[in-house]
Amino acid sequence: MGLPMSQNLKAAGFNVKAYDLSPEARALANEGGIPTVESVAALCADVEYVVTALPETRHIETTLMSEGGIFESAAAGTLICDVSTIAPEGARRFHAEAKKEGMVYLDTPMSGGVTGARNGTLTFMVGGSAEEFEASKMVLQGMGKNFFHCGEPGTGEIAKLTNNLILGISMVAASEGMAIGEKLGIDPVILQKILAVSTARNWCIDTYNPRPGILENVPAANNYEGGFAVGLIKKDMVLALEAAHGVKAETDMLEKSLKYYLDLEKAGQGKKDFGYVFQYIMKNKNI
């Protein structure tokens, strides 16, 4: 998602440079018109904004706080928009640490998937002060269409985790319904058309259907490649589970749905798009 987001920022008039640990990702960025640098320190030189998009809380911590990291390398006044999905507690801690360095760190997780990144229609959920939220919109508007001030630091991540726990459950439900309908004998194409305009309608049905042969330009039409990985939805649901347990919230549906993704990851399918759960269910959970 980082490449189309960077391209949209460039198209919006920003002077963009990028860094990724992967040489392959850097080469792809260069091919896509985004110049790359060889380190976080080089990335932070002479910039007003830094946008981070990394898998886990520990990766953000390393990027911010290690030798040559953002806090050491960026100038005072730099605004850091972290679009990653991480632990709310981590976001609160990073916000406080950034202030000590004269910088602003905001949790600004995104929703909209690869399609939203390409089309510049992402939704951003922002945790921080009202003033910080308004400042973040300067750069976020180059990548998205919807912006929500969720409250104090960490609340952007709370919004994202609740969104993704619902998304993970919804994909299991959509996959189960599509699989049962097909096994009972209805044409899955007709079933999807009905569900897409009925009370069961949701994003996993009408926009990102997991059954191959239903929609074009979705991972299910591409052998479940190039989407939102099983390993990532699992990671987000685990974060949501941990946060929920911290406030003694009930998590029955979350836990039941999470098991599907845990099983898929154990079976070596962690890099497949999370819609692959349809195949797991269709084959009676025998991958």
C-beta separation of 178 from 220 below 8 A: no
As given in the structure block, the two tokens for residue 213 are 């042969």
* Known active-site residue 272: no
Tokens describing residue 204: 């996993």
Tokens of 163: 């969104």
Task: Name the active-site residue from 17, 99, 100, 160.
Answer: 160
Q: Please identify every residue annotated as catalytic.
A: 160
